[in-house]
Chain A
Amino acid sequence: NAGVTQTPKFQVLKTGQSMTLQCAQDMNHEYMSWYRQDPGMGLRLIHYSVGAGITDQGEVPNGYNVSRSTTEDFPLRLLSAAPSQTSVYFCASRPTGTYEQYFGPGTRLTVT
């Protein structure tokens, strides 16, 4: 199994540009989530999904959209990037009935 994969690894955007961060998992996990990590801080939950077609907001959802059309994929969209969205983004998944989350390697995003 590849586990949780994220693309791209690095991205630089200009203010106002849009992009989609990709996340995929091959473990058939129902639950998937997106976090952002800023310097000196822990991870903060952006959005999560408990299964295909079901998404919900986390602690910091503003400026981000998600959708979940398949069990495997959970993309995160930035519609109009802002410098405040400069961060490292992590995707995670877990199987139903457990609490341990499996994290991807992260995407480092810089918005200028």
Chain B
Amino acid sequence: SQQGEEDPQALSIQEGENATMNCSYKTSINNLQWYRQNSGRGLVHLILIRSNEREKHSGRLRVTLDTSKKSSSLLITASRAADTASYFCATDDDGNKLVFGAGTILRVKS
């Protein structure tokens, strides 16, 4: 499968700092999405970037995509304790089969 891989596996930062998570994938994609999962909950969609886009912003989120390196990064600026969660990238080549990475566990200390 073209599973994405996140790096780092876990990240611990202080409130107010920026958090950067990276995702690599294996084959060509239509788009790449980032989801957040709070402990014991379902996933929540954060942002989608299409294969012909290089950067996208949404509030405190910034996503970049480098299709030549098959990689993406998610930057959360000015982190808050409420940002503590697991973050997953997911790739999609036909719209029907979303493939998830193993996730990055982010802990924001207040």
Contact = CB atoms under 8 A, between A and B. Distances in A.
A and B physically associate: yes
Interface string B63-96: 0000000000000000000000000101010011
B20 interface: no
Interface in A1-57: 4, 31, 33, 35, 40-45, 48, 50, 56
B33 interface: yes
Contacts of A99: 30-31, 33, 48, 92, 95
A90 interface: yes
Contacts of B3: 42
Nearest to A108: B40
Given A42-B101, A48-B97, 18 more contacts: A4-B42, A42-B88, A43-B43, A43-B90, A44-B100, A45-B98, A45-B99, A48-B96, A50-B96, A59-B1, A90-B43, A92-B43, A99-B31, A99-B48, A99-B95, A101-B98, A103-B35, A105-B42
Interface of A: 4, 31, 33, 35, 40-45, 48, 50, 56, 58-59, 90, 92, 99-106
28 contacts: A4-B42, A33-B98, A42-B88, A42-B100, A42-B102, A43-B43, A43-B98, A43-B100, A45-B97, A45-B98, A45-B99, A48-B96, A59-B1, A59-B97, A59-B99, A90-B42, A90-B43, A92-B43, A99-B31, A99-B48, A99-B95, A100-B48, A101-B98, A102-B45, A103-B43, A103-B44, A105-B41, A106-B42
Interface of B: 1, 3-4, 30-31, 33, 35, 40-45, 48, 88, 90, 92, 95-103
